Structure 1
Amino acid sequence: MMRQYELVDRVRRYNPQTDEVLLNRAYVYAMKAHGAQVRASGDPFFSHPLEVAAILTEYRLDDATIVAAVLHDTIEDTDSTREEIDRIFGPEIGALVDGLTKLKRLDLVSKRAVQAENFRKLLLAIAADVRVLLVKLADRLHNMRTLHFMAIAKRARIAEETLDIYAPLAGRMGMQRLRDELEDLAFRHLMPEAYATIEARLDDIGRKNDLRIVAIEKELTEALTAAGIKAEVKGRQKQPYSVWRKMERKSISFEQLSDIFGFRIIVDSDEACYKAIGVIHMKWPTVPGRFKDYISTPKPNDYRSIHTTVVGPGRQRVELQVRTNAMHDIASNGIAAHVLYKEGRVRNNAVLTNESKAFQWLRRTIESLAEGSSPEEFLEHTKLELFLDQVFCFTPNGRLIALPKGATAIDFAYAVHTDVGNTAAGAKINGMPAPLLTELQNGDEVEIVCTEGQIPPSVWETLVLTGKARSAIRRATREAMRAQYAGLGRQIVTRAFERAGKPFAEDKIKIALSRFARSSVEDVLAAVGRGEMFSGDVLKAVYPDIADDRKAVSQRPRNEGGWFKMRTNLHVVFRVPGASDEADMKLMPIQGLQPDLPVVFAPNGGAVPGDRIVGILTPGESLTIYPIQSADLTAFDDQAGRWLDARWDIEEGSRSNFPATLLITAINEPGTLGAIATVIGENGSNIANVVINAPSPDFRTLLVNVEVSDLKHLSTIISQLRARPVVSKVERVNG
């Protein structure tokens, strides 16, 4: 176990002004707090926070971060409290330690929910201070180094969590060296046989290619020196996990891999990077499509380098990376490189925020995901953000937008701004009109066409890739639904006040908000619209002395209050008009079909003349007619041979009626059903069936089967129903 003076010496090597008293105090405090606790290895538990601190000294971090590493398990695993840490070590260190402490006594139903809520807390703490992330990654790295001491079942869970969350997070923060080790350790525990096989193959190839690697290093160095470029050339071999992931992603064997080895060229300046690429491309032919310039267009994690692949000696493909020392530092240490000591002083988090694109990305991601998502959704969306490779696109004014590979123009719109996404109506990609669902490619210039007052369709949530877009769409959908419920609630409450002879005024409801446990009038109205609150309760809260003799539905006689329940059947196969009582199908003159084929309408809505229709053939039995928009047709997606094009051939002046189903939401008051029936009757239609549901004492939903002559007839009925004050919403049901 590391000694007290050893920790101080490690810090003093890069920070001569370190506060030795603070470091010593933290060492002694943590040692006493953890006392006789031991790890699964049998080592004193206190050895773990010391090793975490030692890892962080390699990144030359400030005193507060080192002390937080030493103390990071005290609140969670000992009797120490946040207040005590604040008092002894100050609120800055207290906040860091608290950010690393898992939530206790979580009232959540699943282990996954607990994991997700803890992860949300961690990321929110990271957004406030990135040093929390550095301590957490070092903590995870040491735990992975000692994972072999844990039970096998626990090893698998921790290794999987590392591959799912912490390794990608390290990668997004640009800490490639740490990411490589985390992935290597996790892969070793999750798939030991695959790891051992790939490692053995890599060792064998390494021994066989030692001389070739040296020869390529020498040849590159000589070519660059001859061009006056001072460069350090070093060959490197891919990590086992990187090899396995590429084999899985491309479905290829080990023998088909052509880039087991790569070479890194370190030069003095940005200009030298481009000169070196010129020398290399003049010496060896390039592989088309394998040149990437991350210097002019850095990755979101601040990574900068030039990548190219050439056909080198022996006709072998050779991967090359060209960068400066500063770029190499960022590539290896990522965000940690931004908090290195320079001239004895550490740059603060505010400066880090301005300088690091990686941290800006993380903070924006957390802010967009944290609003209104459940813990599980937050975790899933964060994984999506971490995992996917990226494409780089541009706005018309040249702003760079980095998106996950496979992202669409909708993702792009939300990446520009939430309001742009919510009002997106179309897109132009490279100057040409394109659907919003078009998958974007590297270098695309994307212009979003917006329409004011538009609400994003809820189905977009299942089509986008970025967590920001999903959260924004869900939020917009939720707000639209809330506005819809509030509109219904306003109608219900207004009419309740009118029946009581009282004027409806939002100011009066606002005064009584405390009685409703709601924060706004809109919330009260939405609660009434959803059926969570009775309009009579709102009336009583505003006018306590008023008498309200309306009773809950369960206490009311069956036919009281103007409502009655008709004999109903939710699933009715409508007879074709003109069929006899004994028949349930009839020949219909549908153009293009054989004349003796029995034809029936689909249940759950049917079709009316004017609808675009298709027929689903059941050989030897019948042809079932569906409107093209019917959701039931998805059941036949994989049965193309059963689909037949069909169109109406109805004689002009025909008086035949066809079944249609309407879903109506209406206010519950005397005469409502009569008003609905009147509209339908006055338009020459007949009600074949009604199902009434009471989700709330204030309103009803009615599933009404009507008979209409055509689509125009049906549309007239719907529009007139919507115009009735007692009707809030009318929709046609199509399966």
Structure 2
Amino acid sequence: MMRQYELVDRVRSYNPHADEAALNRAYVYAMQAHGLQKRASGDPYFSHPLEVAAILTDMKLDDATIIAAVLHDTIEDTDSTREEIDRLFGPAIGKLVDGLTKLKKLDLVSKRAAQAENFRKLLLAIAEDVRVLLVKLADRLHNMRTLHFVPLEKRARVAQETLDIYAPLAGRMGMQHMRDELENLAFKHLMPEAYAMIAARLEDLRQKNGRIIATIEEELTRELTARGIAAKVEGRQKQPYSVWRKMERKSISFEQLSDIFGFRVIVPNIEDCYRVIGVVHTKWAVVPGRFKDYISTPKPNDYQSIHTTVVGPGRQRAELQVRTELMHEIARNGIAAHALYKEGLRADRGGLSSESRAYQWLRRTIALLAEGDTPEEFLEHTKLELFHDQVFCFTPAGRLIALPRGATPIDFAYAVHTDLGNTAVGAKINGRHAPLLSELQNGDEVEIACAEGQVPPAVWESLVMTGKARSAIRRATRGAVRAQYAGLGRQIVARAFERAGKPFSEEKLKSALPRLARASVDDVLAAVGRGEMFSGDVVKAVHPEFVDERKPAATSTRQRGEPGWFGIKKASGLVFKVPGPEGESDRKSIPIRGLQGDLPVRFAPHGGAVPGDRIVGILTPGEGITIYPIQAPDLTAFDEQPERWLDVRWDIEEGRQEFFPAEIKVTAINEPGTLGTIATVIGEAGANIDNVVMKAISTDFREIIIDVEVNDLKHLNAIMQQLRARPVVHQVERVNG
């Protein structure tokens, strides 16, 4: 375990002005606070914060970060309080320790909502002070180094969490050295056999090719020295996880990998970087398509280097990375290389340079959080941005846009501006018209065509690659649905005012908003459209003297048999009938307001409706009422006939197993047993098939329209999800959904 004087010496080795007294005070305080606590390894618990601090001293971080590392578990795991930390070490360090204390362990295997909320807290704490991230990553690194002491059932969860969140986050912050170690430690615990196999193969190659590596180093150094370039050449070998990931991504064997060996050439200045490339490219043959200049176009995590691959001595392929000493430091430690401890620098950003691209990415990520998405959605699109390699594209004006690999012009449009994405209708890539779903490549110039009033299709959400695009599409879709509810509500309210003999005025409705407990007129109209507010209540809020003799739809306390209840009778189809005398109504029922007489009620002919759907009724004189889900395309035929729209809603007793009609379209592979597989899934899910229509859409695929009877929307969605999981099923969608 590191001694007190050793901690001070480590900090003073790079910061002669370190606050020795504060470091000593933190060491003694934490040691006393943790007392006799033990780690899973049997070591004193106090050894853990010391090792975390040691990792951070290797990154040459400021006194406050080192002290926070020593104290980071005191509030959570001992009797220490935030007030005591503030009094002894100052509020700045107290805030750092408190930010770390609030973070609970993430659990990616279960409790998704809780885990997502914790990740939200993590990034919020980092946004206030990036040093929280540095301590958290160092804490995770030491925990991974000692993971073999943890019970077996917990190791896989911690390792997966590291691979899914912490390692990509370290990479995004430019901390490649830490990312490599986190990934390899996680890989070792998650797939020990694969790790052992690759590590053994790499060691064999190192033994076999060690002389070749030394030869290339010597020859390259000699060539550069002869041209007056003072360069340090370092041979290196890919890490096991990096090798595994490339084998998986490209579906190739270990023997097919051509760039296991690489070399770093470190020179004094940027001009020398390009001189090195000139020497290398004239000395050895270049592998086409493998030249990348990240000096003129840095990566979003601040990484800068020139990459090239050549065929060197012995016909051995070798990747070269050429960079300056400062670039090398940033490539290893990323955001930590910007964490400055000199006096007079900005402390409100945790000492982090505002020029850091990694910091700007972090700020953009936090901005997504402020846009009102749920924690689960926030985690989803943050992980999307964490996990993908990048491509670099340009606007016609030359602005650089970094996107995840696999991104489309839709992602590009949203990266430029949300309004551009929402109104996008077409794209040009390198001057040629291209589909909006084309995959973008490095260096593409993208031009987006727009149309005013355009709303992004909901299906785009599942096709885009960036979190920003997915979030914006989701919000736009919600806005469109809300506008549809508000439009329906406006028609219902206008009709209610007309029946009451009162003029409808938005100005008067605005003055009544406090009585309706809504912030805007649109909120009121959307609530009426969704069935959350009775139209008569809106009239009464504007005209308090108005008395509505009609009653709103009943709640669960309403007695069956009251006027307005319709029981389900199964005849030639599902038909609703007005009940007879009180008590004779069927228990299966939905309330329909404002109707009298014996009117037949039926479900929509295309797709039906199930409990859980928002529904409306359309009155057809002489025929009765047809029940539609609010999203049914057929409803557009009645947009100009508001007098036919009726306010209806479900009232199904909890737990009752009743069947309601729905229609799904399944696109499936044309092979023996496909229909049987689909029917088995539906039957095992407890649903009923009422009708099946099949047609060929190509030689290989069949389109199957299935009328099913299900309990509710949750039951229907579960069946569709189970169908999507079958290999023979290509696509499943609801007909009226």
Indicate the TM-score class for this superposition, using the shorter chain for normalisation.
0.7 to 0.9
> Matched residues in 1 for 2:300 and 2:402: separation?
7
> What pairs with 1:255-334 in structure 2 (closer than 5 Å)?
255-334=255-334
> Matched residues in 1 for 2:185 and 2:194: separation?
13
What letter corresponds to residue 89 of structure 1 in structure 2? Answer: F
Contact 1:120 1:379 in 2 (8 A): yes
> Matched residues in 1 for 2:605 and 2:475: separation?
40
How far residue 275 of structure 1 moved from its aligned partner, in angstroms, is 0.9
SS at match of 1:373: coil
How far residue 370 of structure 1 moved from its aligned partner, in angstroms, is 5.0
Cα displacement string for residues 382-423 of structure 1 (whole angstroms, at most 9, x for unaligned residues) = 222111111110000000001111100000000001111111
Is residue 175 of structure 1 aligned with residue 162 of structure 2?
A: no
The match for 1:723 is 640
The match for 1:468 is 468
Contact 1:300 1:357 in 2 (8 A): yes
Contact 2:294 2:305 in 1 (8 A): yes
How far residue 467 of structure 1 moved from its aligned partner, in angstroms, is 0.6
Cα displacement string for residues 160-193 of structure 1 (whole angstroms, at most 9, x for unaligned residues) = 1111111111111111111111111111111112
Contact 2:487 2:526 in 1 (8 A): yes
Contact 2:368 2:378 in 1 (8 A): no
Contact 2:456 2:477 in 1 (8 A): yes
Is residue 452 of structure 1 aligned with residue 369 of structure 2?
A: no
The match for 2:551 is 551
Contact 2:618 2:645 in 1 (8 A): no
> Matched residues in 1 for 2:612 and 2:551: separation?
15
Cα displacement string for residues 313-353 of structure 1 (whole angstroms, at most 9, x for unaligned residues) = 111111111111111111111111112445x6655455735
> Matched residues in 1 for 2:195 and 2:643: separation?
69
Contact 2:368 2:468 in 1 (8 A): yes
Aligned CA distance change for structure 1 residues 491 and 89 (closer, same or farther; 3 Å): farther
Contact 1:285 1:311 in 2 (8 A): yes
> Matched residues in 1 for 2:367 and 2:573: separation?
45
SS at match of 1:177: helix
The match for 1:484 is 484
> Matched residues in 2 for 1:14 and 1:727: separation?
79
Contact 2:618 2:644 in 1 (8 A): no
The match for 1:242 is 242
The match for 2:71 is 71
Contact 1:403 1:412 in 2 (8 A): yes
Aligned CA distance change for structure 1 residues 550 and 76 (closer, same or farther; 3 Å): farther
What letter corresponds to residue 529 of structure 1 in structure 2? Answer: G
What letter corresponds to residue 58 of structure 1 in structure 2? Answer: D
Aligned CA distance change for structure 1 residues 702 and 229 (closer, same or farther; 3 Å): farther
Q: Which one is further off, 515-524 or 278-287?
A: 515-524
How far residue 247 of structure 1 moved from its aligned partner, in angstroms, is 1.6
The match for 2:11 is 11
> Matched residues in 1 for 2:393 and 2:60: separation?
36
> Matched residues in 1 for 2:413 and 2:617: separation?
39
> What pairs with 1:132-531 in structure 2 (closer than 5 Å)?
132-341=132-341, 348=347, 350=349, 352=352, 354-506=354-506, 509-510=509-510, 513=513, 516-531=516-531
How far residue 244 of structure 1 moved from its aligned partner, in angstroms, is 1.5
Structure possessing the higher relative contact order (Cα contacts under 8 Å, 6 or more residues apart): 1
Contact 1:692 1:700 in 2 (8 A): no
Unpaired segments of 5 or more residues in structure 1?
Answer: 573-666, 678-686, 707-716
Contact 1:221 1:232 in 2 (8 A): yes
Q: Which one is further off, 158-167 or 94-103?
A: 94-103
The match for 1:131 is 131
SS at match of 1:319: strand
How far residue 376 of structure 1 moved from its aligned partner, in angstroms, is 2.6
How far residue 286 of structure 1 moved from its aligned partner, in angstroms, is 0.6
SS at match of 1:199: helix
Percent identity for Structure 1 against Structure 2: 72
Cα displacement string for residues 112-148 of structure 1 (whole angstroms, at most 9, x for unaligned residues) = 2222211111012212221111111111101111111
How far residue 728 of structure 1 moved from its aligned partner, in angstroms, is 6.1
Q: Which one is further off, 555-564 or 9-18?
A: 555-564
The match for 2:44 is 44
What letter corresponds to residue 97 of structure 1 in structure 2? Answer: V
Cα displacement string for residues 82-105 of structure 1 (whole angstroms, at most 9, x for unaligned residues) = 444445434332332232234679
Aligned CA distance change for structure 1 residues 550 and 2 (closer, same or farther; 3 Å): farther
Contact 1:180 1:239 in 2 (8 A): yes
What letter corresponds to residue 141 of structure 2 in structure 1? Answer: L
Aligned CA distance change for structure 1 residues 442 and 502 (closer, same or farther; 3 Å): same
SS at match of 1:275: helix
Aligned CA distance change for structure 1 residues 7 and 521 (closer, same or farther; 3 Å): farther
> Matched residues in 2 for 1:456 and 1:691: separation?
26
SS at match of 1:200: helix
> Matched residues in 2 for 1:456 and 1:488: separation?
21
> Matched residues in 2 for 1:12 and 1:241: separation?
35
Cα displacement string for residues 569-617 of structure 1 (whole angstroms, at most 9, x for unaligned residues) = 6689xxxxxxxxxxxxxxxxxxxxxxxxxxxxxxxxxxxxxxxxxxxxx
SS at match of 2:354: helix
Q: Which one is further off, 241-250 or 493-502?
A: 493-502
Q: Which one is further off, 544-553 or 150-159?
A: 544-553
> What pairs with 1:589-604 in structure 2 (closer than 5 Å)?
none
Contact 1:409 1:438 in 2 (8 A): yes
What letter corresponds to residue 726 of structure 1 in structure 2? Answer: E
Contact 1:308 1:319 in 2 (8 A): yes
> Matched residues in 2 for 1:181 and 1:404: separation?
23
Aligned CA distance change for structure 1 residues 728 and 552 (closer, same or farther; 3 Å): closer
The match for 2:89 is 89
What letter corresponds to residue 43 of structure 1 in structure 2? Answer: D
Aligned CA distance change for structure 1 residues 481 and 221 (closer, same or farther; 3 Å): same
How far residue 559 of structure 1 moved from its aligned partner, in angstroms, is 9.5
* C-alpha RMSD over aligned residues: 3.7
> Matched residues in 2 for 1:260 and 1:563: separation?
73
> Matched residues in 2 for 1:562 and 1:95: separation?
60
**How many residue pairs end up in the alignment?**
620
Cα displacement string for residues 481-508 of structure 1 (whole angstroms, at most 9, x for unaligned residues) = 1122122223323333343344445455
> Matched residues in 2 for 1:497 and 1:78: separation?
65
Cα displacement string for residues 48-86 of structure 1 (whole angstroms, at most 9, x for unaligned residues) = 222212211111212222222222223332344444444
Aligned CA distance change for structure 1 residues 98 and 719 (closer, same or farther; 3 Å): closer
> Matched residues in 1 for 2:532 and 2:257: separation?
61
How far residue 110 of structure 1 moved from its aligned partner, in angstroms, is 5.5
Which one of the candidate residues 700, 703, 720 is aligned to 2:617?
Answer: 700
> Matched residues in 2 for 1:496 and 1:174: separation?
61
Is residue 56 of structure 1 aligned with residue 56 of structure 2?
A: yes
What letter corresponds to residue 115 of structure 1 in structure 2? Answer: Q
Aligned CA distance change for structure 1 residues 43 and 449 (closer, same or farther; 3 Å): same
What letter corresponds to residue 295 of structure 2 in structure 1? Answer: I
What letter corresponds to residue 641 of structure 2 in structure 1? Answer: R
> Matched residues in 1 for 2:162 and 2:134: separation?
15
Cα displacement string for residues 429-486 of structure 1 (whole angstroms, at most 9, x for unaligned residues) = 1111211111111111001111122111111001101011000100111111112212
What letter corresponds to residue 101 of structure 2 in structure 1? Answer: T
The match for 2:727 is none
Aligned CA distance change for structure 1 residues 694 and 113 (closer, same or farther; 3 Å): closer
